[in-house]
Amino acid sequence: MEKKEKIILLVEDSEDIRNLFLLYLEEAGYTVVTACHGKEALDKARVQKPNIVVSDILMPIMDGFSLCRHWKKDPEFQKIPFIFYTATYTDSKDRELALNLGADHFILKPSNPALMVEKINYVLEMYEAGKLKVGRPKMEYPDLVEQYNSALVRKLEDKMAEVEQSYLFCKSILNQMQEALFVLDQEGRLEWANQRFMKVFLSQESTILLGQKLEFLVPNLVQIKPFQKVLQDFFRGKQGEEVSQNFEISLDLPKKGFFKVKTFSLKPPRRNDPLLAVIIEDVTEKKLLEKQFFQAQKMESLGRMAGAMVHDINNLLTAIIGNLEILRSILPEENEGQEEIEAIERTCQKASSLSRKLLLLSKKRDEEHPKPMDLNLTIRNLAPILQSISGKSVDFKLHLQPNLPWIYGIPEHIEQILLNLFQNAKEAMPQGGTIEIRTKKAQIPTFLTHLNKENKYREYVVLSVEDGGIGIPAEEMDKIFDPFFSTKKNNTGLGLSST
């Protein structure tokens, strides 16, 4: 005798779950008819009557509770077993409502699909053996409606709490970002912004600012040309790649900083108009590090070149000075040529001094061995030499903070730095003046703080040489550590690069 086909009506709005259960049920030998919501399930049941219904509860258009109520009211379907399975309606009151509506079984998700097949088999076997009395509504319709409405209110409150929790979770993540993030509507109004944007660009955190136009809140940002173009394209209705841009800008906040800007459009669900998202990353420190790195590379290249040249230059100078000594011994002392020999010798000594400075550039850092040293003591030991250099027109003063922490350094290099700076300070005051050398402890942030006020500070020792000279023009400050750069005429020294 041919086995009778068993049809299951599976009602589930999630395609993934629907396909998973479909696989297990078909493997168990069932013919499965699927529906995405209650209304579709009723329509398909009238075309192909099932032997059993397995339905989710939370679904669009018509939920599982409404489907069960319609199912049990329809004489054609009311004797067909009805099973609920749900991950949302898990309260005991929800189970009570399901059974009051006439459901025959109540399964909680996530349930093992194989276990669910076993329960379906059990319900059908009990039904076919006459041991299961198919459920009928156990309450009058008005009471069921009241119970149903209470269940909906509970689920609505639960969903609102879940949405609120998800919102707060996402908001906390966005507020932890080191980048500034904000979102604009198509009128250029601030739709949302994270804390970093509020602190950096608006200097305050207030929801009152939401809804205000960006051009009034951060005018210097809106005036930057690349950002202007993005806004213009967005306001004209362009989306996608047309407003997805990456560019770098500089802003004064209040110190000058460099920022990387990324823009892209958003299309939120249930909203017709798109939004523009903007992420601004502070790259000021990165730029400074890159600049220092390139300067170090330049100095390293110059050092290698200097190291190769100094040896040959010294050999030439040694030969010239040696020949001068021979020439001096040949000529009588009263000969006018003796003065010329001395002049040439002085020039060679200057050239020799310059070659020694070049040699400093050729030394690799890993060959230097800093050691603990007392900075104040090093300065006091050098003070007599500095005093002799200062002359009568320069007043030399020391301001050394007592109990200064020791530093790691090379005393000879510190002395060379002080000599160079002191000589530069003296030459910057042709009419005379005061040179002051100071040492002090200072708390300095480990990173730039104009964007992050919570960075930790570390203790440093500061050495400064101050003079009342003419100074260096602001436009030339970036060049002061370049080799051979000087604001003085006819200067041939290495400049502050040796410092």
Strand 82-86 with 52-55, pairing: parallel
Give the Cα separation of 217 and 203 in Å (integer): 11
DSSP letter at 336?
Answer: T
Is residue 190 within a helix (H) or strand (E), and if so which, with residue range? strand 190-193
Task: Specify the pLDDT at position 485.
Answer: 57
What is the C-alpha end-to-end distance of the chain, expressed in Å? Answer: 103
Closest CA to 109 of 91, 85, 89, 84: 85
Any residues with CB less than 8 A from the CB of 63 and at least 6 apart, and which? 37, 38, 57
List every span in the chain annotated with CATH 3.30.565.10.
370-468
Distances (CA, A) of 335 to 131, 330, 340: 140, 10, 10
Any residues with CB less than 8 A from the CB of 205 and at least 6 apart, and which? 195, 198, 199
Residue 54 CB neighbours (<10 A) = 24
DSSP per-residue codes, 121-176? HHHHHHHHTT--------S-HHHHHHHHHHHHHHHHHHHHHHHHHHHHHHHHHHHT
Give the Cα separation of 153 and 174 in Å (integer): 31
Task: Specify the pLDDT at position 487.
Answer: 62
**Residue 421 has which token pair?**
């700076």
List every span in the chain annotated with CATH 3.30.450.20.
177-282
For residue 426, with 0-12 CB atoms within 10 Å meaning exposed, 13-18 middle and 19 or more buried, which class applies? buried
> In this structure, which amino acid lies at residue 146?
E
Greatest C-alpha distance within the chain: 143
For residue 480, with 0-12 CB atoms within 10 Å meaning exposed, 13-18 middle and 19 or more buried, which class applies? middle
pLDDT in tens, the chain (499 residues): 345 678 999 998 888 888 888 888 888 888 999 999 989 999 999 999 998 898 888 788 888 888 888 888 888 888 888 888 877 656 677 777 777 777 777 877 656 778 888 888 888 888 888 777 776 666 565 665 666 666 666 667 777 877 788 888 888 888 888 888 999 998 889 888 888 888 888 776 666 778 888 888 888 888 888 888 888 888 887 777 777 888 888 887 767 788 899 998 888 877 788 899 999 988 888 887 777 777 777 766 766 776 677 777 878 888 888 888 888 888 888 888 888 888 888 888 777 777 766 666 555 444 567 889 999 999 998 888 788 777 788 888 999 999 999 998 888 788 878 888 888 888 888 888 899 999 999 887 665 444 455 556 778 899 999 988 877 777 676 666 665 556 665 554 445 555 5
Closest CA to 457 of 441, 473, 469: 441
Question: Phi, psi (5° rounding) for residue 421?
Answer: -65, -40
Q: Which fold has domain 7-156?
A: Rossmann fold (3.40.50)
Q: Which residues face 457 on adjacent strands?
A: 445
Task: Specify the pLDDT at position 462.
Answer: 92
CATH of domain 177-282: 3.30.450.20
DSSP per-residue codes, 88-119? S--SHHHHHHHHHTT-SEEEESS--HHHHHHH
List every span in the chain annotated with CATH 3.40.50.2300.
7-156
> In this structure, which amino acid lies at residue 267?
K
Task: Specify the pLDDT at position 34.
Answer: 92
Give the Cα separation of 298 and 38 in Å (integer): 75
Nearest-10 crossing angle of helices 92-100, 64-73? 20
Task: Specify the pLDDT at position 365.
Answer: 47
Any residues with CB less than 8 A from the CB of 189 and at least 6 apart, and which? 211, 212, 213, 214
The residue to which tokens 């669009």 are assigned: 60
**Residue 271 has which token pair?**
């909203």
Q: Could you give the 3-state DSSP secondary structure of residue 276? A: strand
pLDDT digits (tens, 9 = 90+) for 412-442: 788 878 888 888 888 888 888 899 999 999 8
Give the Cα separation of 364 and 411 in Å (integer): 17
**Sign of the Cα pseudo-torsion (282, 285, 290, 291, in order):** positive
**Residue 135 has which token pair?**
């459920």
Closest CA to 465 of 489, 499, 498: 499
48 neighbors 33 (Cβ within 8 angstroms): yes
The highest-level CATH class for domain 370-468 is: alpha beta
The two counts, helices (H) then strands (E), for the chain are: 14, 15
Report CA 422 to chain centroid distance, whole Å. Answer: 43
Q: Which fold has domain 288-365?
A: Helix Hairpins (1.10.287)
Give the Cα separation of 266 and 37 in Å (integer): 30
Mark 409-424 as b/e (b = at least 16 C-beta within 10 Å).
bebeebbebbebbbeb
Mark 75-111 as b/e (b = at least 16 C-beta within 10 Å).
eebbebbbbbbbebbeeeebbebbbbbbbbbbeeeee
Q: Which residues face 408 on adjacent strands?
A: 372
